[in-house]
């Protein structure tokens, strides 16, 4: 039999050798000029070959990890971690960048990308050799808790399905009594609605003055409806679409002004006419102001005017409604309107009754008889009756009757099906499986990897017993009795989940602070070392000679040492970035760190080519400023402390709060944009003073353009996070 330890070692050695072959020989050599055609083609071919071999190796590593999942889980885990790292860092894409840069004659850009590939392959080697392990004990505990939480969630869903099956038997008498009463009540409402509809059809047409008032009120109501749409769109639309809403608002203002003219020309009571016209004029003026603000892309300024416009329109509508009520008082239509309103209230009060009975029976109700819709139709009929509009009122009454009759049919069908299901035997096998699963879950929650029982374990033990009791009752045909045990099982499992959520939340808060503190410590060290590199570069640059070579042997040695130090720092920053990428809740911070890594590698290459000049120093200074900005952001989060414990249910289905909140990400995105602008200004200044060559400026501009594009992409990614966590952000910043 083959020794497992030797087998594991041999396999990992093979992978290490494969990666060593890829990482070992340099694809490029530092050059002062663009490669010649033949050299360029050879280098492109070499890079393409390495990319192909790397992709083949990654596929092979994934396949081997799958094969060894059961026999060699540790080896499989290591291989997967290395593959995941290669994919998260887009190593294959970076090789493609090398190829494209070589084809475009951008030698330095190719060297930078190539250095990144070497660094990534080296990290993969470290992962396989066991030198990289970013999982803390706390993270492992959280992962363990989350895995159990998922099992709990699935068990609750299964138990809920089984509990629904026994509800008809447990609630048989109540369901029958309630549906019988509901059917009788609904049939009575149907009868009353039919009588009202018959009387409505016999009403005389509206008098001219009531008709006039009604038409004016309908005009105002239409204005209200359109204003509501524009106001809602102003609150939710992208900034680029706001001027278009300004045009819509201006058109509505003109419609409102036309309505004012119609009101003034109308033959209605002068007092009502003047008051209604004044309210409507105020609304038009507010709309005009809102339209101007929207045309200037300022929805915040438009919002108060839009609200005031709505208030004035509603005041105008109310004034007209009062005039109509006064004109129709004592008329048959008014009496019918009041009766229709009362019937609408009765119907609305029943809209959840059918659903509640169905829930008690563990059944779903089809949306054929919508009592809520019936009540709305009745309310509209009431409104039409109040203004003597008999024909529209009849149409609404017909729609209400249709929904009422469907609801009666639904109630009858529900009563019949519930009675049938109450007598149907429910199989015990699924319930017994749930009992076994719950028992195993309770054991696993007690015997954890950390030797510490999980929160909620006693509740799961109780749930296991009640689930088993339900299974026994089902086996003996006691479906009604099993239901109470099933409910108790669900109750205990939910209680356990709530307690588990509290433990997860507590650990995540502590883990967050632990990670932030670690990041702060690492960034502070990187900043200190970077400042040292910058100072050494500035110092050696002042010693340059006017004649060539510009630097003696000792100065050259110092420059090369700083180059190595910058390269080493880039790896340290890369490790921080990997921590954030793996943590998975931040968007902007990893990208900023990625910029720093690339800039450090670029600086390292420039120093390796003995160029500690102004551009190199400017890049170093920019790196320092960016690290300081990151440090300030992290320290601000740390200053808030671990926060208060919110209690159960905070996990919301297993999600976790971000390491850095969206608002802090937005601030960092703004700083990233400022950094791009800062770099652009610096380049223009250096070009004007001829401190850098045109080809060098072209490369730097290309990098800045790519980073500007990235800013726009990141803005889109964090938009949803900002919308959900900071709904009033536009008023805060």
* 726 part of a folded domain: no
Backbone phi, psi, residue 352, to 5°:
-100, -5
Do residues 305 and 245 share a domain?
Answer: yes
Q: Whole-angstrom Cα distance, residue 98 to residue 101?
A: 5
Q: What is the mean pLDDT of residues 355-384?
A: 85
Are 128 and 186 part of one and the same domain? no
The CATH number for 40's domain is: 1.20.120
Distance of CA 183 to the CA centre of its chain: 45
What pLDDT, on a 0 to 100 scale, did the predictor assign at position 550? 86
Q: How confident is the model at residue 712 (pLDDT cuts 50, 70, 90)?
A: low
260 with 313, same domain: the answer is yes
Q: Please give the tally of structural domains in the chain.
A: 2
**Which pLDDT score, from 0 to 100, does residue 728 have?**
40
| Average pLDDT estimate for 354-371 | 79
Of the candidates 133, 156, 186, which is a domain's last residue? 133
Shared domain for 245 and 382, answered yes or no, is: yes
- The answer to whether residue 404 sits within a structural domain is yes
Tell me if 390 is assigned to some domain. Answer: yes
Q: How many residues does the chain have?
A: 733
How sure is the predictor about 71, in pLDDT bands with cuts at 50, 70 and 90? confident
Residue 12 clears pLDDT 60, i.e. is over it: no
Domain-terminating residue out of 366, 399, 422: 422
Task: Reply yes or no on whether the pLDDT at 166 is more than 70.
Answer: yes
List C-alpha distances in Å: 716 to 22, 221, 711. 36, 38, 9
What the block records as the tokens of 258 is: 């036309």
> How far is it, in rounded angstroms, from Cα 351 to Cα 403?
11
Percent of the chain with pLDDT over 70: 80
The tokens for 606 are: 């420039």
Q: What is the pLDDT of residue 260?
A: 93
The model carries a pTM of 0.60
User: 27 and 77 in one domain?
Assistant: yes
Model pLDDT, residue 591 = 82
Mention every residue, 6+ apart, whose C-beta is less than 8 A from residue 111: 28, 30, 605
Q: Is residue 479 part of a domain?
A: no
Burial class of residue 550 in the structure, from the number of CB atoms within 10 Å of its CB (0-12 exposed, 13-18 middle, 19+ buried): middle
CA–CA separation, 20 and 124 (whole Å):
10
Residue 659 near residue 586, CB atoms below 8 Å: yes
C-alpha 268, offset from chain centre: 55
| pLDDT tens per residue across span 607-630 | 998 989 888 998 899 899 888 888
Within 13 Å of residue 250, how many CA atoms lie on the same side as its CB? 12
∠ CA 134-140-142 to the nearest 5 degrees? 120
Cα radius of gyration (the chain): 37
In a shared domain, residues 129 and 177: no
Helices marked H in 133-171: 137-170
If asked whether residues 183 and 328 sit together in one domain, one would say: yes
Alpha carbon distance 265, 269 (integer Å): 11
What value does the mean pLDDT take over residues 293-320? 92
Q: Which residue has the tokens 């300024």?
A: 301
Cβ(83)–Cβ(61) below 8 Å:
yes
pLDDT tens string 381-425? 999 999 999 999 999 999 999 999 999 999 999 999 999 999 999
Indicate if the pLDDT at residue 29 is higher than 80.
Answer: no
- Average pLDDT for 125-139: 62
Does residue 61 lie within any of the structural domains? yes
Contact assessment for residue 143 and residue 449, using Cβ atoms and an 8 Å cutoff: no
The answer to whether residues 247 and 392 belong to one domain is yes
Is 76 domain-assigned? yes
Buried b / exposed e along 563-577 (16+ C-beta atoms within 10 A)? bebbbebbebbbbbb
Please state whether the peptide bond connecting residue 19 to the residue before it is cis, i.e. omega within 30 degrees of 0.
no
Tokens linked to 182: 């509901």
Ramachandran area for residue 363 (φ above 0: left; ψ -120 to 50: alpha; else beta): beta
CB atoms < 10 A from the CB of 357, how many? 24
Same domain, 129 and 176: no
Name the burial class of residue 528, with classes exposed (0-12), middle (13-18) and buried (19+) by CB atoms within 10 angstroms of its CB: exposed
Q: Which of 546, 548, 566, 572 is nearest to 607 (CA)?
A: 566
Compute the distance between CA of residue 380 and CA of residue 621 in angstroms, rounded to an integer. Answer: 70
pLDDT of residue 115: 67
**Residue at a domain's end among 374, 394, 422:** 422
Calculate the average pLDDT of the chain.
Answer: 82
485 alpha carbon, distance to own chain's centre = 38
Q: Which domain holds residue 34?
A: 1-133
Please give the Cα distance from 537 to 617 (Å, whole number). Answer: 7
* Residue 586 DSSP label: -
């Amino acid at each position: 039999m083959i020794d497992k330890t030797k087998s594991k070692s041999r396999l990992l050695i093979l992978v290490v050798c494969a990666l060593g072959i890829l990482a070992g020989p340099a694809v490029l050599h530092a050059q002062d000029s663009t490669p010649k055609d033949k050299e360029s083609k050879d280098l492109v071919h070499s890079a393409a070959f390495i990319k192909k071999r790397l992709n083949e190796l990654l596929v092979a590593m994934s396949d081997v990890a799958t094969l060894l999942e059961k026999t060699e889980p540790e080896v499989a885990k290591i291989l997967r971690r290395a593959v995941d790292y290669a994919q998260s860092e887009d190593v294959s894409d970076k090789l493609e960048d090398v190829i494209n840069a070589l084809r475009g004659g951008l030698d330095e850009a190719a060297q930078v990308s190539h250095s990144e590939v070497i660094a990534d392959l080296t990290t993969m080697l470290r992962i396989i050799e066991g030198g990289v392990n970013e999982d803390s004990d706390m993270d492992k505990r959280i992962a363990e808790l989350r895995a159990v939480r998922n099992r709990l969630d699935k068990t609750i869903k299964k138990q809920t399905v089984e509990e629904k099956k026994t509800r008809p038997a447990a609630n048989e008498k109540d369901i029958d009594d309630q549906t019988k009463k509901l059917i009788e009540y609904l049939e009575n409402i149907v009868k009353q609605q039919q009588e009202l509809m018959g009387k409505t059809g016999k009403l005389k047409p509206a008098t001219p003055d009531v008709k006039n008032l009604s038409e004016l009120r309908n005009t105002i109501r239409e204005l209200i409806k359109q204003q509501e749409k524009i106001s809602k769109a102003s609150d939710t639309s992208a900034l680029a679409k706001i001027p278009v809403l300004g045009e819509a608002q201006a058109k509505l203002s003109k419609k409102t002004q036309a309505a004012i003219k119609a009101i003034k020309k109308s033959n209605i009571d002068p007092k009502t006419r003047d008051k209604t016209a004044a309210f409507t004029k105020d609304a038009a003026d507010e709309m005009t102001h809102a339209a101007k603000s929207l045309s200037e892309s300022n929805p915040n300024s438009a919002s108060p005017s839009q609200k005031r416009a709505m208030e004035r329109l509603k005041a105008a509508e109310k004034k007209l409604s009062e005039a109509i009520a006064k004109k129709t008082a004592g008329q048959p239509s008014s009496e019918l309107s009041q009766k229709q309103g009362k019937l609408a209230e009765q119907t609305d009060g029943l809209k959840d009754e059918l659903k509640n009975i169905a829930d008690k029976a563990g059944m779903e109700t089809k949306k054929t008889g919508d009592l809520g819709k019936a009540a709305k139709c009745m309310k509209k009929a009431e409104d039409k009756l109040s203004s003597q509009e008999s024909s529209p009122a009849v149409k609404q009454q017909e729609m209400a009757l249709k929904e009422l009759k469907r609801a009666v049919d639904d109630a009858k069908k529900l009563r019949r099906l519930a009675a049938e299901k109450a007598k149907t035997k429910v199989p015990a096998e699924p319930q017994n499986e749930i009992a076994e699963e719950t028992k195993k879950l309770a054991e696993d929650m007690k015997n954890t990897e950390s030797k510490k029982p999980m929160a909620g374990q006693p509740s799961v033990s109780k749930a296991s017993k009640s689930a088993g009791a339900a299974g026994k009752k089902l086996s003996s045909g006691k479906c009604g009795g099993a239901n109470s045990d099933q409910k108790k099982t669900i109750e205990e499992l939910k209680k356990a989940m709530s307690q588990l959520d509290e433990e997860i939340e507590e650990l995540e808060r502590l883990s967050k602070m632990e990670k932030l503190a670690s990041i702060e410590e690492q960034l502070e060290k990187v900043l200190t070392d970077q400042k040292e590199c910058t100072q050494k570069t500035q110092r050696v640059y002042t010693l340059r000679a006017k004649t060539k070579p510009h630097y003696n042997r000792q100065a050259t040695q110092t420059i090369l040492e700083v180059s190595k130090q910058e390269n080493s720092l880039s790896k340290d920053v890369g490790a921080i970035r990997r921590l954030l990428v793996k943590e998975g809740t931040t968007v902007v911070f990893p990208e900023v760190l990625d910029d720093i890594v690339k800039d450090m590698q670029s600086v390292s290459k420039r120093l390796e080519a003995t160029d500690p000049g102004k551009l190199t120093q400017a890049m170093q200074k920019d790196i320092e400023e960016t690290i300081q900005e990151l440090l300030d952001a992290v320290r601000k989060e740390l200053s808030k402390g671990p926060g208060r414990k919110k209690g159960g249910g905070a996990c919301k289905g297993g999600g976790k709060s971000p390491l850095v909140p969206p608002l802090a990400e937005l601030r960092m995105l703004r700083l990233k944009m400022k950094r791009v602008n800062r770099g652009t200004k610096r380049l223009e200044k250096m070009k004007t003073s001829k401190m850098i060559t045109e080809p060098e400026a072209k490369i730097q501009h290309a990098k800045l353009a790519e980073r500007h594009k990235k800013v726009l992409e990141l803005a889109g990614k964090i938009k949803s996070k900002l919308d959900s966590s900071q709904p009033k952000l536009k008023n805060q910043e």
